[in-house]
Chain A
Amino acid sequence: MITFLLTSLLGVMLLGIPILISIALIGFVGMAMLPDVVMPLFAQKMFGQLDSFTLLAMPYFILAGSIMTAGGISKQLVDFARALVGHFRAGLAHASVVGSMVMSGVSGSSTADASAIASILIPTMKQSGYKPGFAAALIATAGTMGAIIPPSMTMVVYGAIAQVSIGGLFLGGIIPGILIGIALMITIKLYTYHPAYPELRQVTARFDLCALWRSVSSAWSGLLAPLIIVGGILSGVFTATEAGAVACVYAFLVGYFVEKKITLSKVPDILVDAAITTSMVSGIIAVSGPMGWVLSYLQFDGMVLSYVSTLSTSPTMILFILAGVMIVLGTFVDSLIVLLVFAPVAVSVTKTYGLDPFQVGLVMVICNQIGAVSPPTAPLLFITTSIAKTPIDQTNRHVWTFMLAETLVLMLVILIPGLSSWIPNYFLK
């Protein structure tokens, strides 16, 4: 029955039925097929899935990101990144990585990061002779840091389902997120030696301390936001959910009183737009309640675990296998679904093999993000490619090198647990 349900899910999703409806349908059919199940459980499990205080961090960070974007923060952060690293060879490429990194501290969403940075930088990169496919692939991969550097919606989803501290996951994402940024910058550096990329050897700007200072003074509100969020969680002043609410108030106060780019008349539409993004994700989480219940009733996680145990007994190998399966599935299926289906498996793996929950969480989130840039089902590539106005083949041709860099960081996170677990375990105990 599990095989029937999961293949049906894959089938209806690939057919083009909205993911929310696909999951609700499979959950409903699964419940109806089980003996002695009272169908009102369908509504009760949807309620149960949203009956979580930790999950509230998601709408709050979505709203904070929307308010800051409405205040024009993306452009200021990109200007800061260009002032910081724009004087390097392939300065614009490096600026796109640093820009994504600092934007990640504000938005918490890889999609928001990729679309914001791409729409600002890709036109300039194209003017400077960059190959559009290269620019689109790089910015899409750099956008994945949005879900790894705190705050992160993906971590909120995983933490709420797997019952892992979201604050801890946020803190665990700092080192891997920075490592991904460094890995991408090293990849760009290697590209500069490639004879087919002469445009990357150009130096188009000179370092100017005054310009850097001007950009810092203009982007201070965006640069301060992650410090408030991470600082607040580190010091125990507030939980991740409360940090989200505080971030919204902070973003509004800065946008309204300091930057003066948000008017009261804009507020309802900003709230509605953020609510739509919230409902698209929280709606899927809600309808995954009945499906998750059916899978757990049929002991899906136990079956996967017992199968994986026959392949290896080493916790590190188990993590590698889990990561491999998630990445392969993420190339064909929406990576949010893979995360929702595999989160209970990850919890079982964590408990059975005594792994650190933050390390497992980070592995899950990074795999999820690699899935989001791996063709053919790669939403981040679709976004940046459409902005770059280039054939998707051109982007796909370049994305492998950047994916490889991110995969190497994933392997480091698996092999060295401290990279993802040291900060949360040190500060939250």
Chain B
Amino acid sequence: MKALFAAIDRSIELFVAAIFMAMVVIGSWQVFSRFVLNFTPSWSEEVQIFGHIWLVFLTIPIAYRRGAHITVEAIRRIMSPWMSKGLDVLIELLWVGFAIATAYYSYRVSLVTRNSVSPGLEIPMSYPYYGMILGSVYLLFVVIRRFAGELPTPDPDELPPEATRL
């Protein structure tokens, strides 16, 4: 089971890397195409925007898994261990709530937007929302694994400092 979970995690990471790579290639192609071929593709901006949305919602769970989300730790440091443990449970429950709310409401919006077509790519406007749904489902999957003790709670002090904020 552990190997399967690890394979899923790695597949999602590679998928995110592929999206990011495609965004960069298309963004550079846009400049090259405009200046060298005198032609601006109508779809390139939209692909990058939708790619960014997929990338963000698929990577929120990866960042969660690695404990990279920005948190103010000042008060936690002076909490008693049981209060800190209670706060951890509350935080996990809020993540579950966020994942369910995002998945459910994105699905509701996608039902409405699937009939409208994006101007550049000419695809249903529900497609970017599918990234939000997929990302939220994966987030739920990861949070449940942490609840079940399959994933350790990361120590915020062990994070690389450059990976924490702007």
Contacts and interface: CB of A to CB of B under 8 A. Distances in A.
Contact of B27 (A21, A40, A56, A147): A56
Given A50-B52, A268-B14, A112 B162 contact: yes
Contacts of B45: 53
Contact of B129 (A15, A43, A153, A280): A43
A17 B56 contact: no
A56 to B, nearest CB: 5
Contacts of A246: 27-28, 31
B161 A115 contact: yes
A244 B95 CA distance: 32
Interface string B72-98: 111110010000000100110011011
Given A245-B24, A271-B20, A383 B161 contact: yes
A275 interface: yes
Contacts, number: 210
Contact of B91 (A21, A47, A53, A276): A21
A153 B53 contact: no
Interface string B1-26: 00000000000011011001101100
B49 A238 contact: no
Given A242-B31, A244-B27, A111 B53 contact: no
B71 interface: yes
A232 B139 CA distance: 39
A109 interface: yes
Interface stretch (A127-135, A282-290, A341-349, A404-412): A282-290
Contacts of B16: 271-272, 275
Given A111-B161, A245-B31, A271-B17, A336 B69 contact: no
Contacts of B68: 276, 280
A277 B161 CA distance: 11
Interface residues on B, range: 35 or more
B27 A242 contact: yes
A16 to B, nearest CB: 4
Contact of B166 (A147, A279, A383, A386): A147
Contacts of B28: 242, 245-246, 248-249
B21 A271 contact: yes
B52 A111 contact: no
Given A43-B129, A44-B109, A334 B20 contact: no
Contacts of A278: 55-56, 59
A336 to B, nearest CB: 6
A43 B102 contact: yes
Nearest to A20: B69
Contacts of A55: 52
B94 A21 contact: yes
Interface string A37-64: 0011111101100111101100110010
A56 B20 contact: no
Interface string B126-160: 00110010000000000000000000000000001
A246 B23 CA distance: 11
A282 B23 CA distance: 16
A56 B23 contact: yes
Contacts of B97: 25
Given A15-B87, A47-B128, A272-B62, A279 B101 contact: no
Interface of A: 13-21, 24-25, 28, 39-44, 46-47, 50-53, 55-56, 59-60, 63, 109-112, 115-116, 147, 153-154, 157, 237-238, 241-242, 244-246, 248-249, 267-268, 271-284, 286, 334, 336, 376-377, 379, 382-383, 386-387
Closest 8 CB pairs of A and B: A245-B27, A279-B59, A43-B105, A271-B17, A16-B76, A383-B161, A40-B108, A43-B106
6 contacts: A25-B97, A56-B52, A59-B55, A110-B166, A279-B57, A279-B60
Given A53-B45, A115-B161, 14 more contacts: A50-B49, A50-B53, A56-B23, A56-B52, A60-B23, A245-B30, A268-B13, A275-B17, A276-B163, A280-B70, A280-B165, A282-B56, A336-B165, A377-B74
